[in-house]
Amino acid sequence: MPSFTLACPGLARLPLLLASLLIAIPVAASGTAAPATVAALRCEYQTNPLGLDARRPRLSWQLRATARDVMQTAYQIQVAGSKADLEQGRNLLWDTGEVTSDQSVHVPYAGPPLQSGQRYWWRVRVWTGDDIPSTWSEPAFWEMGLLEPSDWQAQWIEPDVEEDVSTSAPAPMLRRTFWVEGEVVRARAYVTSHGLYELHLNGRRVGDQVFTPGWTSYHHQLQVQTYDVTDLLQDGPNAVGAILGDGWYRGQIGFRGQRNFYGNRLALLAQLVITYADGRTEVIGTDSHWRATNDGPIRMSDIYNGEVYDARREFPGWSTTGFDDSGWAGVRIADHGTDHLVAPAGPSVRRVEEIRPIALLTSPAGETIIDMGQNMVGWVRLRVSGPAGTTITLRHAEVLDQEGNLYTENLRAARQTVQYTLRGDGEEIYEPHFTFQGFRYVAVEGFPGTPTLDAFTGIVIHSDMAQTGHFRTSNPLVNQLQHNIRWGQKGNFLDVPTDCPQRDERLGWTGDAQVFCRTAAFNYDVAGFFTKWLADLAFDQYDSGSIPHVIPNVLATDGQGAAGAAGWADAGVLIPWDLYLVYGDRLLLERQYPGMTAWVGYMQRRAGDDLIWDGDPHFGDWLAFNTTRSDYPGATTSKDFIATAFYAYSAALTARAADVLGKPEDAAHYRRLSERIKQAFRQEFVTPNGRVGENTQTAYALALAFDLLPEALRQQAADRLAEDVRRFGHLTTGFLGTPHLNHVLTRFGYTDLAYALLLRETYPSWLYPVTQGATTIWERWDGLRPDGSFQDPGMNSFNHYAYGAVGDWMYRVMAGLDTDPERPGYKHVLIAPRPGGGFTEVEARLETLYGTTGSAWTWHDDTFSLTVTVPPNTTATVRLPGAAPDQVQVDGRPLVGADGVHDAGADGTDTVVQIGSGMYRFSYPMVSDE
């Protein structure tokens, strides 16, 4: 067996930007600080949203304060139909008056019914312990979309053109002209489609979103985007146009080569509502007056296969009034209905950043290859000049093979190829339209002249989530691991949480999302993203309660196949609970609760009276450690074991959800069920001496993480787990065991082993890919083997976030940043860092709904220092490891009696401190582990 090193000498030291925490909430004495102010107003997780369809939208805000221990004691919200009325306090639609409450997130609007298309302005002021209110916040607004099917005057239209729907067809283009007569004060465009769309108005692209209307369970809900197009209209003649792409609707989807999954005809629904200064309202919608063609420049655009674009076939000015469309065909009116149209709950996909390539290579095969320096998702913007008819071909791949050639075998049937044919009239700039690639390397063929790096720009796209987390340590390899985790999330959070962004798959696998959810919520604001996806999960859940493997469900084409796998379908329970913990979103938990109970009911029927769920097909501990040794040293955990473990855990979480939702009878039922399953589990899989299942790391990790063992056996089981880790010298877990492994080791006193696993640099480990130059998380521990060969190309993604779930342990244990389940959403912050592993510095920040919270520690010269940030209107419990209360100082002063400190005392070898909001710098002597 390989040796197992617990200490990590020689780690590089990097200074941390602790000043960033110190700026967050300056320390000031309570009596001299400026009063609290209100900022960061949000409605349904969005800032000034357009097109909402929530009938009682929830309002949130943050307090800003320089003093410590600031709590909101009351609030007042005012809502008006105009900004002027709001600022003058007149004609108010809703005025709460002074409400005694510390609630500052998810406050539901309770005024008169909201009207379609109307904008509502709102503001907040708060009280913080005295009779003097804060100043009013700056006004914010939300605007409603079209709330009723009858609000739609537009008709669904389909291009009346000949198409071969058995393959990727040319992208249809549609247009019409209309007149504007008078001064326009407001104009809104409400748009959706079957397939993807780009909207143009008077020669300009509308909005900055891409891949609209997004991917949903199209038969159940279809998203409508709302655009403010006031400034794009002109007095007199106007022209509107749209380009349609196959997208997920009818393009190739899944790894079975299927097309036309949702339908074989593309369609557009668009309604332009114009409001004039004289009070008139005019509606321009899709109807029989539109014209269409498929003779344009996009000859093919497919998500998996790329795009073929012939610039010689462009129609200059096609979306302007002067264009002659007499040669275009007409459109057909279609009856697709409007009762399933919804506003987007999550952020749209956008061009988020640009990357400049770092190298121009020539491969042994003679290809010119561009190295972007980062495995990314999006496409290449091409800048080129050359003769008309010249065709440039771009082929995309994640890695190079052992010889330095482009490696594309792992793409399977996905071509990931873009072809651009020049029109030949000077410099041309081109970006693909309805396709995206997962790549770091681009092979360039047919480029006129000698290509330079300036000709290529990487355009990074993903759902435009706000980055909320920051994590940094004194170890550069771990910092790169965090970079890789974040980039893996960016590349795979593209409207749905996909498994991978490059091969012929890119599907919303439930298991991958389930294991990564908590990590995802540290890195980015994923509240709206998962709210949208969970709605699709609820729609696609079968009547039996079984949940498909992927959401939206495009794998099952008959009956209830491709569903019901333990650890995957449990996403329907685990993710809503995780989001409740992170965001305190009780409404989301309430929406998903029927699906939670239905899934537990399905498991109950499958398990039967003995409560052991056996015999059904499952994925098990997917991609666990593999070995070529003939005696195979046991890293396989039985699927029956895993299924029964998740059965017990989902039942327990459903009981907790019932408690939150005020359903005591349900809570008692599911709690009893969970306890009965645990008893059956112990009889079937646990020996009296604490040996669990197949004696694998995953078996112990799940049993201990899910509290399946009696108290008397838990430490024995943890000791066996630790011994197995030492025996192997590395982890052996797969997708389901890995997220829990380090947490369990830490919980039962083996934090040193958890650090050792994190810091291992050889296969299998988290840092092995980092040492191989990875810039994202790999699907397999050995996607690229130590000998330079590749794993099975049938399933070997180099951008696959599941194993990045260790990020949750890094934030919650290394930095010690967590939320209290009893006061979720970081209303009460738990800060309990667990130093070790030779680290001298760890810093984490998180932008919560209440503001910035943070934990940053240093361990130098036998002094441990912890800087804590707690946002106003929250409190925190801080656990100081290895500290005696009388040795702890706060900002250089004794702990007892310090401003903002409510209570402090010893708990074993630690000191536990209760504090209010503010910035605190704790320091005390602690002997270093080096």
Q: What is the pLDDT of residue 631?
A: 73
Give the span between the Cα atoms of 926 and 621, in whole angstroms.
40
- Residue 16 in this model has a pLDDT that exceeds 50: no
Q: What is the mean pLDDT of the chain?
A: 94
Structure token digits, residue 793: 């190309």
Q: What is the pLDDT of residue 130?
A: 84
Through-space distance between the first and last CA atoms of the chain, rounded to whole angstroms: 26
The region that residue 373 occupies, defined by phi over 0 for left and psi between -120 and 50 for alpha, beta otherwise, is left
Contact status, residue 549 vs residue 563, Cβ threshold 8 Å? yes
Mean predicted confidence (pLDDT) in 330-353: 97
Which of 1-10, 438-447, 554-563, 877-886 is predicted with the least confidence, judged by mean pLDDT?
A: 1-10
Q: Which of 691, 684, 212, 692 has the alpha carbon at shortest distance from 433? A: 212
Give the span between the Cα atoms of 490 and 465, in whole angstroms.
9
> 888 Cβ partners below 8 Å, 6+ apart?
880, 895, 904, 911, 913, 922, 923, 924
Mean predicted confidence (pLDDT) in 848-873: 97
Structure token digits, residue 827: 């209303």
Q: Kindly report the backbone phi and psi dihedral angles of residue 225, in degrees, each rounded to the nearest multiple of 5, phi listed first.
A: -90, 145
CA dihedral 711, 716, 719, 721 (to 10 degrees): -80
* DSSP state letters, 90-153: -SEEEE---EE----SSEE--SSPP-TT-EEEEEEEEESSSSPPPPPPPPEEEEB---SGGG--
- Residue 393 in this model has a pLDDT that exceeds 60: yes
- Tens-place pLDDT, residues 259-314: 999 999 999 999 999 999 999 999 999 999 999 999 999 999 999 999 999 999 99
Q: How far is CA 749 from CA 737, 760, 840, in A?
A: 18, 19, 21
Mean predicted confidence (pLDDT) in 635-645: 95
Q: What is the pLDDT of residue 558?
A: 65
- Tens-place pLDDT, residues 178-204: 999 999 999 999 999 999 999 999 999
Q: Which of 380, 378, 487, 500 has the alpha carbon at shortest distance from 443? A: 380
Q: Between 586-607 and 527-540, two packed helices, what is the crossing angle to 10 degrees?
A: 40
Give the span between the Cα atoms of 453 and 358, in whole angstroms.
8
> CA geometry: angle at 230 spanning 225 and 235, to 5°?
135
- Tens-place pLDDT, residues 68-116: 999 999 999 999 999 999 999 999 999 999 999 999 999 999 999 999 9
Q: What is the pLDDT of residue 633?
A: 66
> CA geometry: angle at 832 spanning 828 and 835, to 5°?
160
- Tens-place pLDDT, residues 403-420: 999 999 999 999 999 999
Q: What is the pLDDT of residue 524?
A: 98
Q: Between 751-759 and 738-747, two packed helices, what is the crossing angle to 10 degrees?
A: 140
Q: What is the pLDDT of residue 914?
A: 98
Q: Which of 923, 872, 867 has the alpha carbon at shortest distance from 17? A: 867
Q: What is the pLDDT of residue 15?
A: 39
> 413 Cβ partners below 8 Å, 6+ apart?
255, 257, 304, 503, 504
Query: Given the DSSP bridges, would you call strands 437-445 and 817-819 parallel, antiparallel or unpaired?
Result: unpaired
Count of residues in the chain: 930
> 112 Cβ partners below 8 Å, 6+ apart?
93, 94
Q: What is the pLDDT of residue 897?
A: 87
- Tens-place pLDDT, residues 746-762: 999 999 999 999 999 99
Provide, rounded to the nearest whole percent, the portion of the chain with pLDDT above 90: 92
This prediction has a pTM of 0.95
- Residue 14 in this model has a pLDDT that exceeds 70: no
Mean predicted confidence (pLDDT) in 551-575: 90
Counting Cα atoms < 13 Å in the Cβ hemisphere of 204 gives: 11
Mean predicted confidence (pLDDT) in 466-477: 98
Q: What is the pLDDT of residue 424?
A: 97
Q: Kindly report the backbone phi and psi dihedral angles of residue 193, in degrees, each rounded to the nearest multiple of 5, phi listed first.
A: -160, 165
Give the span between the Cα atoms of 791 and 473, in whole angstroms.
31
Q: Which of 276, 313, 312, 284 has the alpha carbon at shortest distance from 199? A: 284
> 768 Cβ partners below 8 Å, 6+ apart?
760, 761, 762, 781, 782
Neighbours of 633 (CB within 10 A): 11
> 382 Cβ partners below 8 Å, 6+ apart?
392, 394, 420, 428, 429, 430, 431, 455, 456
Q: Kindly report the backbone phi and psi dihedral angles of residue 392, in degrees, each rounded to the nearest multiple of 5, phi listed first.
A: -100, 130
Q: What is the pLDDT of residue 929?
A: 58
Q: Which of 726, 728, 550 has the alpha carbon at shortest distance from 625? A: 728
Give the span between the Cα atoms of 276 and 279, in whole angstroms.
5
Q: What is the pLDDT of residue 6?
A: 32
Q: Which parts of 823-926 are beta strand (E)?
A: 828-831, 841-848, 851-860, 863-870, 875-880, 889-890, 893-894, 901-907, 910-915, 918-925
Neighbours of 150 (CB within 10 A): 10
- Residue 9 in this model has a pLDDT that exceeds 50: no
Known catalytic residues are 505, 779
Q: Kindly report the backbone phi and psi dihedral angles of residue 616, in degrees, each rounded to the nearest multiple of 5, phi listed first.
A: -85, 155
Give the span between the Cα atoms of 876 and 820, in whole angstroms.
9
Q: What is the pLDDT of residue 634?
A: 61
Q: What is the pLDDT of residue 283?
A: 97
Mean predicted confidence (pLDDT) in 520-525: 98
- Tens-place pLDDT, residues 366-385: 999 999 999 999 999 999 99
Contact status, residue 552 vs residue 215, Cβ threshold 8 Å? yes
Neighbours of 877 (CB within 10 A): 17
Q: What is the pLDDT of residue 375?
A: 98
Mean predicted confidence (pLDDT) in 722-727: 96
Q: What is the pLDDT of residue 33?
A: 59
Contact status, residue 701 vs residue 692, Cβ threshold 8 Å? no
DSSP 790: B
> What 3-state DSSP class applies to 415?
coil
Identify which of 544-558, 787-801, 828-842 has the greatest average pLDDT: 828-842
- Residue 29 in this model has a pLDDT that exceeds 50: no
Give the span between the Cα atoms of 906 and 504, in whole angstroms.
56
What is the C-alpha radius of gyration for the chain, rounded to an integer number of angstroms? 29
Q: For CA atoms 553, 558, 562, 563, give the dihedral sign.
A: positive
> 436 Cβ partners below 8 Å, 6+ apart?
211, 303, 377, 378, 379, 461, 494, 501
> What 3-state DSSP class applies to 798?
coil
> 121 Cβ partners below 8 Å, 6+ apart?
79, 80, 81, 82, 83, 85, 86, 139, 140, 141
Strand partners, 369: 361, 443
Neighbours of 118 (CB within 10 A): 12
